Amino acid sequence: MTAEFKKLVQSLEAKQYAPVYLVDGEEPYYLDMITQYFEEKILQSHEKDFNLMVLYGKDVEWSDVVNACRRFPMFAERQVVILKDAAQMRSLNELAGYIANPSPTTIFLIEHRFKKADGRSKMLKDVKAKGVHFTSEKVKDDNMPGWIQGYGREIGFTVGERESQILATYLGNDLQKIANEIEKVRINVPNEPALTAEMIQKYIGISREYNVFEFPEALTSGDKDKLYRMLAYFVANPKSAPMVLMIGSFYSHFNKLYQANFLHQKTEKEINAVLGWGGRKILEIARHWPLHKVEYCMMLLGEYSARAVGIDSNVADTELLKEMVGKMEAA
């Protein structure tokens, strides 16, 4: 959640209404939330029938919008007029006359999605003078993990760095999709305080054929065909598995193998308590991966983790991945 969005929502919740709002930009997530607030929360339920009007840019002219905004509220202190898809309205800039002298009993929202309003227009200048202008920017790919972690904090559901990187890698920067998928997980495990990689795989449904969870297991299970097939895929599609994310997945897997070496005589309940989801399978793999091999691979992960962020290396991620997997396979 951006600071500007928080400020806007806080002012609305405090009923500090401006006569006109213009929300624009390429990211629809925040625009939808704002529009929903105007539709559902400003007016009482019994006031909406006569005092909530929703218009669409492709269907109306500027005069229709002004007439709607100039009418008086009925059985209420104020009315709400929403102009959706304003970018499709050819005469949009003609609204400048109304915006310069807006009705004190109307709260007017202009929703201008998928692109910014013309910053040179008199209309936008009047909005800034009389009301509120909010732009919803697309979140850059590099900033997505941070946004996901912040979203988790807002809803009281911890999303760690590795998990946020996994979601960003597989879901892209579609904020609504990410929010929906996290909510899907919470519905299935309502009492869990934090998102795990296992939850992502189980409930979000990331492909089992080519994903960072299955790759370490393909190496340690001895399935060479699957290992080489997956390696070829990741080399050909480097964005599907950044080296930093891949190292995190390998570390999690080898850490479980390390612990599994001390669990061979334990009960099923004890194994699951330590290894969690898929514990029995990890235990079977650990029979063929003694401690010295696991420790060697974890040492390699430390080395390649440093190289992946440019320490003593300027090699591409794909080359680092091939090199690391080759050394692990030969261990």
The closest alpha carbon to 92, from 64, 68, 51, 71, belongs to: 64
CATH number of 3-135: 3.40.50.300
> Does 139-206 carry CATH code 3.40.50.1220?
no
Rounded to whole angstroms, how far apart are CA atoms 135 and 15? 21
Distance of CA 20 to the CA centre of its chain: 29
Domain limits of the chain?
3-135, 139-206, 208-331
Distance CA 289, CA 331 (A): 10
The pLDDT profile of the chain, 331 residues, written as one tens digit per residue, is: 678 999 999 999 999 999 999 999 999 999 999 999 999 999 999 999 999 999 999 999 999 999 999 999 999 999 999 999 999 999 999 999 999 999 999 999 999 999 999 989 999 999 999 999 999 999 988 789 899 999 999 999 999 887 888 888 888 889 999 999 999 999 999 999 999 888 888 898 776 677 887 899 899 998 899 999 999 989 998 888 888 889 988 998 899 899 888 887 777 777 777 776 567 788 888 888 999 999 999 999 999 999 998 888 888 899 999 999 999 998 8
Architecture of domain 208-331: Up-down Bundle (1.20)
